[in-house]
Structure 1
Amino acid sequence: MRTHMKGLAVVCFLIVLFAVAGCGSHEEPKPVVGENLRSAMVGKKWVVEELFARRMNEEVTMEFMSDGTVKAFGGCNELTGTYTLLEDGLTFGPMASTRKSCGPALDEQEYSFKTFLARVERVELDGNDLLLLSREFPGPIRLTTGGGGLFW
Structure 2
Amino acid sequence: MSKLAPSLAAALLLTGCASMTPPHLPLDTPYKVEWIGERPLIDSSHLTVTLGADGRAYGHAGCNRWFASYQTNGQNLSFDHAGATRMACAPALMEQEDRFLQALGQVKRWEMGENGELRLWYAEGQALRMLAE
TM-score by length of 1: 0.69
Assess, with a 3 A threshold, how the Cα gap between structure 1 residues 135 and 66 changes in structure 2: closer, same or farther: same
Tell me what 2:16 maps to: none
Larger Rg computed on CA atoms? 1
List gaps (5 residues or longer) in structure 2: 1-18
Q: CA deviation at 1:96?
A: 1.4
The number of aligned residues is 112
Q: Which amino acid aligns with 2:120?
A: L
List gaps (5 residues or longer) in structure 1: 1-28, 147-152
Q: CA deviation at 1:129?
A: 0.6
- d(CA) in 2 for partners of 1:96, 1:129: 25
Larger strand percent: 2
Q: What percent identity do the matched residue pairs reach?
A: 27
Tell me what 2:36 maps to: 51
Tell me what 1:95 maps to: 82
Deviation readout 1:23-76 (Å, 9 max, x if unpaired): xxxxxx7473xxx423xx101110001111211120100111100001111000
- d(CA) in 1 for partners of 2:67, 2:85: 9
- d(CA) in 2 for partners of 1:85, 1:111: 23
Q: Paired residue for 2:123, among 132, 135, 145? A: 135
Assess, with a 3 A threshold, how the Cα gap between structure 1 residues 68 and 101 changes in structure 2: closer, same or farther: same
Moved over 2 A (4+): 29-32
Assess, with a 3 A threshold, how the Cα gap between structure 1 residues 96 and 89 changes in structure 2: closer, same or farther: same
The alignment's C-alpha RMSD in Å is 1.5
- d(CA) in 1 for partners of 2:72, 2:65: 22
Deviation readout 1:108-146 (Å, 9 max, x if unpaired): 00000000100100101113111110122x521001104
Larger helix percent: 1
TM-score by length of 2: 0.78
- d(CA) in 2 for partners of 1:55, 1:37: 26
